[in-house]
């Protein structure tokens, strides 16, 4: 499924369209973008056409493109939704590196989290982050994700093993922090 348009102060989440598959080709050819995504190979256009089609057809994932400053800068999603137990995993990529460190991931996660709890009626969101990826963890923590634990030496990248942080946010904890 594709998520609906969600407008924040600086960031808009929108459903993917036919213009989007080519955007991922340069993003995923850049190892600075992929180093904390656990992927070490690039993608061809036909692969991304197929991937976005699968997201659109999936009944246990909700996928958005991220817009800011009048551009499409990345993508985010709620994945592996377990509708009975009401939990899911989340992920994000800001592929346009010139837009890093502007608070856009934090705001995209805020929109995504609100939609997951207030519209999808999910109970818990979970994610994993390579420990050196301080920006991702910080943005998640600002959206209520809390530490569950660390898997030691879980991924190999850049010539060394990386620990992985596991975080999750429960709806009742998130709701307590909301004013609207
Ligand atoms: C990780 C990523 C999503 C962060 O996006 P972003 O839009 O730059 O993040 P934000 O601007 O919202 O920053 C979030 C926080 O991290 C901090 N931060 C940003 N870059 C940082 C860095 N390189 N080192 C340490 N902290 C950093 C910000 O200052 C902010 O904290 P603050 O609000 O206390 O100042 C983005 O860099 C990205 O897509 N990277 C490639 C793919 C990836 O790693 N995805 C996540 C996989 S778990």
Q: Render pLDDT for 16-49 as a digit per residue (tens, 0 to 9).
A: 999 999 999 999 999 999 999 988 899 999 999 9
Q: Ligand 1, residue 93: give the atom nearest the CA.
A: 39
pLDDT digits (tens, 9 = 90+) for 86-138: 999 999 999 999 999 999 999 999 999 999 999 999 999 999 999 999 999 99
Q: What is the pLDDT of residue 158?
A: 86
Contact 13, 108 (CB under 8 A): yes
- Residue bearing the CA closest to ligand 1, atom 16: 135
pLDDT digits (tens, 9 = 90+) for 48-70: 999 999 999 999 999 999 999 99
- Residue bearing the CA closest to ligand 1, atom 47: 37
Q: What is the pLDDT of residue 83?
A: 98
CA–CA separation, 176 vs 178, rounded Å? 6
Q: Ligand 1, residue 142: give the atom nearest the CA.
A: 33
Q: Given the structure tokens 């990386």, which residue do they identify?
A: 162
CA–CA separation, 163 vs 156, rounded Å? 9
pTM of the shown model: 0.97
Contact 121, 86 (CB under 8 A): yes
CA–CA separation, 94 vs 67, rounded Å? 10
Classify domain 6-176 by CATH architecture: 3-Layer(aba) Sandwich (3.40)
Q: Given the structure tokens 């993917």, which residue do they identify?
A: 16
Q: What is the pLDDT of residue 148?
A: 98
Tell me the two tokens of residue 128: 């994993």
Q: Read off the pLDDT band of 146 (50, 70, 90).
A: very high
Q: Ligand 1, residue 74: give the atom nearest the CA.
A: 39
Contact 77, 24 (CB under 8 A): no
Contacts of 140 (CB under 8 A, 6+ apart): 109, 127, 129, 167, 169
| Average of per-residue pLDDT across 143-162 | 95
């Amino acid at each position: 499924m594709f998520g609906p348009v969600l407008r924040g102060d600086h960031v808009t989440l929108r459903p993917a369209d036919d213009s989007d598959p080519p955007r991922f080709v340069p993003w995923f050819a850049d190892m600075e973008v992929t180093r904390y995504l656990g992927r070490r190979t690039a993608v061809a256009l036909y692969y991304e056409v197929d991937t976005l089609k699968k997201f659109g057809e999936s009944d246990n994932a909700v996928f958005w493109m991220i817009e800011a400053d009048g551009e499409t800068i990345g993508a985010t999603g709620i994945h592996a939704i377990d509708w009975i137990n009401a939990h899911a995993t989340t992920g994000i990529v800001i592929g346009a590196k010139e837009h890093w460190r502007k608070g856009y991931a934090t705001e995209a996660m805020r929109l995504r989290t609100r939609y997951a709890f207030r519209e999808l009626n999910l109970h818990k969101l979970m994610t994993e982050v390579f420990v050196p990826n301080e920006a991702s963890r910080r943005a998640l923590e600002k959206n209520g994700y809390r530490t569950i634990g660390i898997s030691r030496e879980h991924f190999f990248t850049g010539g060394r093993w990386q620990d992985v942080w596991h975080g999750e946010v429960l709806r009742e904890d998130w709701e307590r922090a909301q004013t609207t």
